[in-house]
Amino acid sequence: MQLKEKKVLITGGTRGIGRCMLQELIDGGASHIAIIARDKKSLKEISESYPEVKFIRISGDVGNIDVLREAAARIEDKWGSLDILINNAGIVSAGPLEELPDEEIYDQVAVNYTAILLLTKYCIPLLKNAEEAAILNISSGLGLIGMPFYGVYASTKAAIRQFSDSMRRELAPFNISVTCSYPTATDTDMMQKFEGREMDSPEFVAKRSIEGLLKKELHVVFGGEEREKDSELNFMDPKKFDDKIANGYEQLKESSTGHKAM
Ligand SMILES: NC(=O)c1ccc[n+]([C@@H]2O[C@H](COP(=O)([O-])OP(=O)(O)OC[C@H]3O[C@@H](n4cnc5c(N)ncnc54)[C@H](OP(=O)(O)O)[C@@H]3O)[C@@H](O)[C@H]2O)c1
């Protein structure tokens, strides 16, 4: 697939990985871009920075069903079809489950997961109207390995993996590919309150994820060899992986404390 003249809808295209994916899309020649994000000002600034691109700005919360319906309706009205859907917007609130406010549990599920199900549902007729279409879902390394203190976030991200596999198989007869990307720690606003290790740059994660989408890769996994080994151990010998986690328990608790970007 090529980006030239493509019509794209991206959630959370105003900051972090989403903003860098937007740049990749524009550099590749995408001509029509719809963005959903809450902050009106950044949506306006971005759309004014690229006069060559036709934008649809949808300011609102992806956790609000009306915002998702409005996005699909406006695209249908203005473009009639959609080539690429990128489900990227996400939030996190980490910590011991019994200490997480109920609202933050609901919101993580609504924004990270339910919104993806609904927006994809509303966009399928538009994607079917394109000659060849693609969906990119942004999961997380935590969607492959469930870590302590990230039970809510990690389970929303694991659900995205399962949803991606299902939709890939369901949409195959319609020439709609589905790629799922699994970034690990990436240097964005989401990680401002995370006390931790080295991070990937959002530019790198965006470039690889868009490349995966264009090449119709099924899964784009980040984190290198160490992560690959951890994933294998987690799958093949989970008890052994539990022991590894138990050794770093206090450190993991400390580094996740206060990790919140909502
Ligand atoms: N950074 C990491 O280490 C990392 C690792 C693995 C996976 N990921 C995943 O990668 C994706 C992007 O993360 P990021 O680090 O780039 O995040 P970020 O820097 O915090 O940016 C989030 C983007 O999503 C938008 N957004 C957030 N909540 C929204 C809502 N309720 N409705 C509409 N838009 C919303 C934000 O715009 P507004 O605030 O204006 O709405 C912003 O454009 C997320 O799904 C995240 O879970 C990130």
Mean pLDDT, all residues of the chain:
97
Rounded mean pLDDT, 36-47: 98
Rounded mean pLDDT, 150-163: 98
- CATH architecture label of 7-261: 3-Layer(aba) Sandwich (3.40)
Residue 190 alpha carbon to ligand 1 centre in Å: 7
Report pLDDT for 104.
Answer: 98
Give the model confidence (pLDDT) of 73-95 as tens digits.
999 999 999 999 999 999 999 99
Q: Residues enclosing ligand 1, CB less than 6 A?
A: 11-12, 14-18, 36-39, 42, 61-63, 88-91, 111, 138, 140, 183, 185-186, 188-191, 202, 261
CA contacts within 13 A on the Cβ side of 108: 23
Report pLDDT for 81.
Answer: 98
Closest ligand 1 atom number to CA of residue 199: 3
Rounded mean pLDDT, 232-250: 96
Rounded mean pLDDT, 4-29: 98
- Measured by CA distance, the residue closest to atom 7 of ligand 1 is 140
- Which residues does the annotation mark as catalytic? 153
* pLDDT for 197 beyond 80: no
Report pLDDT for 79.
Answer: 98
* pLDDT for 209 beyond 90: yes
* pLDDT for 221 beyond 90: yes
Residue 247 alpha carbon to ligand 1 centre in Å: 30
- Measured by CA distance, the residue closest to atom 45 of ligand 1 is 90
* pLDDT for 152 beyond 70: yes
Rounded mean pLDDT, 39-51: 98
Candidate from 69-78, 128-137, 204-213, 225-234 with smallest mean pLDDT = 225-234
Residue 251 alpha carbon to ligand 1 centre in Å: 25
Token pair of 16, please? 């972090």
Residue 16 alpha carbon to ligand 1 centre in Å: 7
- Give CA–CA dist 210/205, Å, rounded: 9
Closest ligand 1 atom number to CA of residue 19: 43
Report pLDDT for 196.
Answer: 64
Longest dimension (CA), the chain: 56
Report pLDDT for 193.
Answer: 76
Report pLDDT for 194.
Answer: 78
Task: Break the chain into its structural domains and give their ranges.
Answer: 7-261
Instruction: For tokens 């690429």, name the residue.
Output: 84
